[in-house]
Structure 1
Amino acid sequence: MSKTPRYFAPHGGQPPQTDLLTGRAIFTTAYAVIPKGVMRDIVTSYLPGWDKTRAWIIARPMSGFAETFSQYIMEVTHGGGSKTPEPDPRAEGVLFTVEGTYTLMIGEKVHVMKPGAYAYLPPGAKWAVRNEGVEPARFHWIRKRYEAVPGIPLPEAFVINEQDVAPSVMPDCNGVWSTTRFVDPADMRHDMHVTIVNFEPGGIIPFLETHVMEHGLYVLEGKAVYKLNGDWVEVEAGDFMWLRAFCPQACYAGGPGRFRYLLYKDVNRHARLDPFAAR
């Protein structure tokens, strides 16, 4: 991409008592919008096995809503991290770094994670995080229970930076809509895709997408209006949209700058016929 990406990350804090209560947060049966203004100190969680770390948990499986994934925004301060970060041996994960620098160890390999760094972590992977820097490191951690298929091997762990990935331009859009893909969409080993969707000013999703995939959309940069079910909703950098399966959705990125978001979706597996059974 021609421009150096910048990403929004929450810092917490509390609004003053003089602020109005009115805001943009909404939760419906089809979608939720969690705006950046509600990601405050009092809604963070501390996680077992993590030191000097807090998390904004912005999505988790909920019956009747989005059931396949959880998404955290992690804040790891100096000297913090975890040697045993993932409690579920069946969970796969993606880390995407939005601010600061930290070290990610996967097995015996050490990776320095800077803004734009993306890591895929298969189920059962041995990994650890440590922040030796002065400033806090902030990154998204998306978790999904991996759906194994006989005869299909597990994906390998890998680390890459989005600046080293050429976006794929969507057809018939004059280059204003593209997707930065970190895995091959036809690679059947992967049952989730975490990508970055990019719009230049004026770009649109030109139809109401209505599909089985669940979504988490965290706005990394810019602003836009999003059509969610029957509503037009304004969103900006730092906002999170959480969409259940079949929620109609479209987008208009009016500018003045680029509009970009980190996108989760579940893919490449049969529809479950026992949705209420233990995964």
Structure 2
Amino acid sequence: MAKQSSQPKSQTSGQKSQKGGVSLLSPNSKVSITLPKKAVASSYQKNLEKLAKQIKVAGFRPGKVPAKVAEEQLGQAHLIEHVLDELLPEAYRQALKNSKKTPITQPEFRVIAAKLGEDWVVEATFAELPTVKINQYQRHVKAGKQSAKKALTKRLKTAKTKKAGSQDTVVTQLTPEEEKELNLQHIFRQLVLELKPQVPEMLLKHETQHEFEHLVGQLKQLNITVDDYLKRRNSTMEQLSQELAVQTLNRLQLDLVLGAIARQEKLTVMDQDKENYFSQLKDEKQREQLKKDAHYLGHLETNLLKQKVVNYLLTL
């Protein structure tokens, strides 16, 4: 585990909504994994013999270190780590299958018992997709549109300015795109405030860490350290962590709501939707490369589905 001072601290505990003290976070899911002592013993011995051939110990020729000596040199903790690396992946998959759980994050493992000659027990913690109740969400969308309409009227009133030296007035109108953006801002806010979707703790933790790493990457391109960035903002790491956690929480809440609406309304991304997107890319070489990039395709499908939901909401 890396020990860096410039790592964001978890701000997931105690997140509350502004209304009624309802928690915005849902608990993580867990499964217990048992590694049979026979499988453990076999893996332990196999890894010990393998590592014994790789280490150098004074008084012994390379590859000829006795298992007992190698075990003392390596330490049981190191060997246990190798056993877990070998046995846990398949045992974890089987535990998920038996429990019928579907993680949406990578697991975090905690060793409960790891004594030689006995079964080992490991606990896996992860996030699952929460159930988001979107009853009468259409009503909240319409309320959001009404709120946007009022905001637009107020904005137009305050945007009136007098021409220099005359009594004429100029009204600054929003472009269609700006008006659409204003509508969406109010619709999204209304949906999240009223539906109050809960975000799994570990999902928030992992996504906040991802946002922090993305920020660090951007700063690195500008030759700016995290410490320098904080000094320029007159901020602390704790404040930055809190800021990132809140931003990430808001994004995840909206994503969960939009995903639930997509499932209820059976909105999906078809192959033709992706083809239409790729047809807009003029660089043929880039287009063919992206079509083979599984990570990019997953990201593209997420964005295309979100756009479908957005377009649908604007028609309500």
Same fold (TM over 0.5): no
User: Shorter-chain TM-score category?
Assistant: under 0.3
Higher-RCO chain (CA-CA 8 Å, sequence separation at least 6): 2
TM-score scaled to structure 1, two decimals? 0.23
TM-score scaled to structure 2, two decimals? 0.21
Structure holding more strand per residue: 1
| Structure index of larger Rg | 2
